Structure 1
Amino acid sequence: MFESTRAGLSRLATGRTVPVWLRRFVRRQDGATAIEFGIVLLPFLSILLMTMETALVFFAQQNLETIAADSARLIMTGQAQNASFDAAKFKSAVCDRVVALFSCSTGMYVDVQKYTSFASISSTVTLDSSGNPVTNYNPGGKNEIVVVRLIYKWPIVSPLTQTYLADAASTTRMLVATAAFRNEPF
């Protein structure tokens, strides 16, 4: 098929000449690793970013649980039962415990309700017509059962992760941290 010539050219059977450098380039396999890396790079980065976002959601959930437990102690010990300590002050106390992950002023919902027994506690979050949680503030009295819920709509950034982490027909995931306890006899 190829005929060699002294000028460093090869001649195809059709009569056209092919430069030697082109023949050498076609035979070389030095760039195969770079091409394979380019093929694997996009799926690798996608999986890496999805893993990082999933880990961040779990970290935020754990952080919210810690904030709920710490804030619930204000109610459990009777510090939040005086007349001047209302829902806004309790939310402010919750927001004081938030370090960096949450936008407390816009996305944090605080729900405090008293119940007659632990068996009567509902685990569902009631939503209004616009999809926001319905919140109350009733810290109860001495020896009463109280549930503190912190609710935050966490934005899911990656479209690939939204399929698995976001709530139905949404780009956010509702993180809910709950603390159920009996108030102390303060």
Structure 2
Amino acid sequence: MFNRFRSIVVDRCGAGKCGGVGRRFIKQQDGAAAVEFALIATPFLALTFAIIESAMVFFAGQSLEAATASAARLILTGQAQTGGYSASDFKTQVCNRVASLFDCNGGVYVDVKTYTNFSSVSTTSPVTNGKLDTSNMTYTPGGPGCIVKVAVYYQWPIYVSLLGNNLATLDGNKRLLVATSVFRTEPYGGTGGC
């Protein structure tokens, strides 16, 4: 772009319409790279940070999925039921698997429910008016042979919004990360109903 402008001006100056000062000014290119970088730097950096943040959200979601699957195995095999785990004990098991990535002090929410059949498992989002609604979250792991849904929620903070396209799904620039595992518990010989 700059070179085309320069060639137009040089053509005019070559025809004698510019003075000697004009020719020297046109031939100088000392600040051209700085000006071009200033025009490109802001969108480039915004796009770079948006890519990095998207990757972090994806990585956090996958980590939460892995931690949920691993912790849900404690309920699947009956270890949580026979061990007398409370909701906070189970949440601790989830947090032990993702402690370095998530803030578990109030940031991780666990919802464990039992169902009579797989078709009755609720898929309703716990978001109400842009906020995570924790009022219906319970911890009922059931007994042997029960159908159990383990859902873990985390509100991940979003820092970069690119031209209004934001990853946030909750108020306060947060994205709700959800990891779910649905299964029938093994017949581990314990007691308890569905």
Q: What TM-score does the superposition give when structure 2 sets the normalisation length?
A: 0.78
Question: Hey, what's the Cα distance between the residues in 2 that align with 1:42 and 1:31?
Answer: 18
Verify the 8 A CA contact 2:47 2:162 in the aligned structure 1: no
Question: Hey, what's the Cα distance between the residues in 1 that align with 2:82 and 2:138?
Answer: 17
Q: Secondary structure at the match of 1:164?
A: coil
Q: Secondary structure at the match of 2:175?
A: strand
Q: Which residue of 1 aligns with 2:53?
A: 53
Identity value in percent:
46
Aligned residues: 169
Question: Hey, what's the Cα distance between the residues in 2 that align with 1:183 and 1:104?
Answer: 26
Q: Does 1:107 align with 2:118?
A: no
Q: Which residue of 2 aligns with 1:156?
A: 158
Q: Which residue of 2 aligns with 1:125?
A: 125
Q: Which residue of 2 aligns with 1:141?
A: 143
Q: Secondary structure at the match of 1:177?
A: strand
> CA distance change for structure 1 residues 145 and 161 in 2, over 3 Å: closer, same or farther?
farther
Unaligned runs of 5+ in 2: 1-18, 189-194
After the TM superposition, list the runs of 4 or more consecutive aligned residues in structure 1 that deviate by more than 6 angstroms: none
Across the aligned residues of Structure 1 and Structure 2, the Cα RMSD in angstroms comes to 2.4
Unaligned runs of 5+ in 1: 1-17
Q: Following TM superposition, by how much is the alpha carbon of 1:127 offset from its aligned partner in structure 2, in angstroms? A: 4.6
> CA distance change for structure 1 residues 123 and 67 in 2, over 3 Å: closer, same or farther?
same
Matching residue's letter, 1:182: R
Comparing 66-75 with 77-86, which one deviates more in the overlay?
A: 77-86
Question: Hey, what's the Cα distance between the residues in 1 that align with 2:74 and 2:25?
Answer: 74
Q: Secondary structure at the match of 2:166?
A: helix
Verify the 8 A CA contact 2:69 2:181 in the aligned structure 1: yes
Q: Which residue of 1 aligns with 2:36?
A: 36
